[in-house]
Structure 1
Amino acid sequence: MQAIAKIWRTARSYAYEFLADGRGLAATEFAVIVPLMLVMFFGTVEFSSAVAIDRKVTLIARTLSDLTSQSSSTVTDTNLQNTFTASISVMTPYDASLVNATLSEIYIDTNSVAKISWAKSATIASGATQATLTNPPSTRVAGTTVTSMIPSTLLIPSTYLILSEVNYTYTPSVKFVLKSGINLSDVAYTRPRQVTCIAYNSVPATC
């Protein structure tokens, strides 16, 4: 009996010492907490960048339509190229080469049917200081009906609209939380400010 009691006391002593030993506690807590903290940190960085770029995409869309709508006569390729180039300043300090933009003029006829009059697109090469007009001119084809994409409050018969569309593929540099790119986009509509319509390459011929 004494031997059994001694063994029990020894085992209990070892168990107590084992439970009281905290030398590995900090390392264990560190191993558990660090992955969670890294996810929170890099997730916040990547999400914040995406929100900031999304805001700039909206600003670019508004800037393009606003600048074009202020034209007082026919716009040329040079005019449009300069307008698209404004995207570089707006997107700073982020990569402007990921911006794809399109400007269109839309005519709403007497039956409130909206069609593309003319359209022009541009891209920005990495490190470039000026936008490059694309060829073919745009994915928007003249004569295409786009009534469904126009807000009902803007479908005023016998009027014109300037439409700008901007797309940006955001790819996180770290890719710790967001593993793939996210497509950010926005559109903006404005009316010609100083004239009834803004012609490009004699389109429309008359307003």
Structure 2
Amino acid sequence: MKRWPAFLRAEEGVAAVEFALIAPILLIMLIGGTALEEAVVVSHKVTAAAHSIADVTTQYSTVANTDLSVILSASTVVLEPYPTTSAKMVVSEVQVASGGGTGTVVWSQALNTGPRAVGSTVSIPAASASSDSDTTYLILGEVTYNYTPRVANKFVPGITFYQSLFMVPRISTSIPLTTSSG
């Protein structure tokens, strides 16, 4: 009968060796899972911020540039505790002619980026387009956020989240931009 050398029969360090082999994989899964979970949270916050911008704006009968600045600045709070310096927010009123499909920007204001050009064309989703013969006005809230994971940001690339939302004005058919708060 052939006898194995003593070091091949030893079983004392098997658990330590197995742990040493599996630990890097577990660590990568932990870091990746944390970054993924944080990205999902940021994605939801970007959606909530776009909704906040459009929702608050639709509650005005007329709006001034100062009102829009306050709405955009206040909407950054939704993104906290994540850094808000990379958040680009735009609120616009879009005029949609009967038949829908596209709309024209009536006014626009932005935070940390340029506003949409007045008179520029915006694609309107089919669900938001009006089939009536009348002209419809919609408020468009947009948020673009460059997310960089806090954990393992050297290994996990950044992600750019974008969300836009159309809402119908609540008090009137359109919300004119005025020089004083309304």
What CA distance in whole angstroms lies between the structure 2 residues aligned with 1:176 and 1:17? 46
Q: Tell me the SS of whatever aligns to 2:127.
A: helix
Q: What is the CA–CA distance in structure 1 between the aligned matches of 2:178 and 2:117, rounded to whole Å?
A: 15
> In the alignment, does 2:34 pair up with 1:45?
yes
Stretch of structure 1 that moved more, 102-111 or 171-180: 171-180
Counterparts in 2 of 1:80 and 1:181: CA distance versus 1, 3 Å: same
2:53 is the counterpart of 1:64: yes
Change (3 A) 1:46 1:154: same
Q: 1:141 is matched with which residue?
A: 117
Counting helix residues as a fraction of each chain, which structure ranks higher? 1
Which one of the candidate residues 86, 90, 94 is aligned to 1:98?
86
Distance 1:62 1:103, change over 3 A: same
Q: Deviations over 1:183-207 (max 9, x none)?
A: 11111111111111111257xxxxx
User: Which residue in the other structure is 2:104 paired with?
Assistant: 115
**Superposed displacement of residue 24, structure 1:** 3.5
Code of the residue aligned with 1:58 in structure 2: it is T
Contact 1:42–1:176 (CA<8 Å) still a contact in 2?
Answer: no
* Structure with greater strand percent: 2
Preserved CA contact (<8 Å) 2:99 2:129: no
Alignment partner, residue 34 of structure 1: 23
The runs of 5 or more residues in structure 1 that have no matched partner are: 1-8, 124-133, 203-207
Q: Which runs of 4+ in 1 moved over 3 A?
A: 110-113
Q: Secondary structure at the match of 1:94?
A: coil
Q: Does 1:160 align with 2:137?
A: yes
**C-alpha offsets along residues 5-36 of structure 1, whole Å, 9 cap, x if unaligned?**
xxxx7xx33x2523221243233212211111
The number of residues matched between the two structures is 175
**1:174 is matched by which residue type in structure 2?**
V
Aligned-residue sequence identity (percent) comes to 34
How far apart in 2 are the matches of 1:155 and 1:86? 29
1:78-89 to structure 2, matched below 5 A, reads: 78-89=66-77
Tell me, yes or no, if structure 1 residue 171 matches structure 2 residue 159: no
Larger displacement relative to structure 2 (55-64 or 30-39): 30-39
Structure number with bigger Rg: 1
Worse-superposed segment, 173-182 or 150-159: 173-182
| Cα separation, 2, equivalents of 1:30 and 1:153 | 54
Q: CA deviation at 1:176?
A: 6.3
